[in-house]
Amino acid sequence: MNKTVVLDAGHGGKDGGACGNGLREKDIALKVANEIAKRLKAEYEGVECILTRSTDVFLELKERTDMANKTKADMLVSIHCNAGGGAGGFESFTYNGSTNAATAAFQNVLHGEIYSRLKGFGVNDRGQKRANLHMCRESKMPAVLIENLFIDVDSDANRLKRTEVLEAIINGHVVGIAKYLGLKTKQTEKPTDEVLNVFVDGVNVGQGDNLKGVTRGPVRALAQALGAQVIYDATNKRIDVISKK
C-alpha cells in the first residue's frame, strides 16, 4: 500500500514569512518542499506526495490542514525558516497538547536526519520542541513543523544562500521521511565490497560504495558541494552535471 506524505511550504503569496538578508522564508520553503517531493517520488517506491502549495500562492492555515486531513495522509511536514532567534539554529516542533507515540517517533527521526547533515556547517541545534502551532494541532496525522535556520541571523542567512546547505536540508527531509515510513529505494541493491563516506572540504555529503573496484557515490550532493548544477531526468534515466563557468 502506498504511503502518502503531505508537504506544506509555509507562507506564500502575500505572506512572505520571515524576511531579511535578501531572503524570503516563503521562497526557501517552496524550493525545499518541491524538491523533497520530486526526490521522494523519483527515488523511492510506494510513496505519494501532496503539496499544499507548489507555487507562490497564499493559503490560510485552515485550508492547508483541511487539505491534508482529506487525504488521510500518513504524515505531514510543514517547512519553514525562523526569525528573531539570536544565535540562530535549527529546531523542530510538534503539538504541545496530546501527542501520540507515532508523532514523537517521527519528530525524533526527522530532526535527527536533518541535523546530522547540518551539524558539519556549524548550525546550532535548538532541539526538538512542542508548541501550540496550528499545522501540528489541527492535522489528523503525525505532523512536524521544521524551522530551517534563521533568516534574520547573518550567519544562518549566509548558510541558507549556500547550495550545499540547502542540499543538506532537502536530503535530511527526504531520508528522514523515507526512514520513518520504511520506504524502499527504486535502485536495485547490489553487493558491495565496502561502504565509503564521501567528504567535500571536510563535510560529509553522503555514502557511496566500492563494487569490484568501481566507486559509486552521492552524485547530486558531491556535484552541488563543488558548485555544479545537477539535473535528473527520470524518463531517460539520465543525470546531467553542469559546471559553473
Q: How far apart are CA 3 and CA 180, in angstroms?
A: 11
Torsion of CA 23, 80, 165, 31, to 10 degrees: -70
How far, in Å, CA of 173 to CA of 115, rounded? 10
Give the active site residue among 25, 35, 91, 147: 147
Within 10 angstroms of residue 242's Cβ, the number of other Cβ atoms is 10
Collapse the DSSP code of 128 into the 3-class scheme (helix H, G, I; strand E, B; otherwise coil) and give the result. strand
Strand 125-131 relative to strand 229-233, pairing: unpaired
Q: Which residues contact 77 (CB under 8 A, 6 or more apart)?
A: 5, 6, 7, 8, 36, 110, 143, 144, 145, 146, 173, 177
Query: Is 147 among the catalytic positions?
Result: yes
Residue closest to 40 by CA, chosen among 148, 173, 233, 222: 173
3-state secondary structure of 167: helix
Q: How does DSSP classify residue 73?
A: -
- C-beta atoms surrounding 6 within 10 Å: 27
Q: How far apart, in whole angstroms, are the C-alpha atoms of residue 171 and residue 35?
A: 9
Residue 222 DSSP symbol: H
Residues catalogued as catalytic = 147
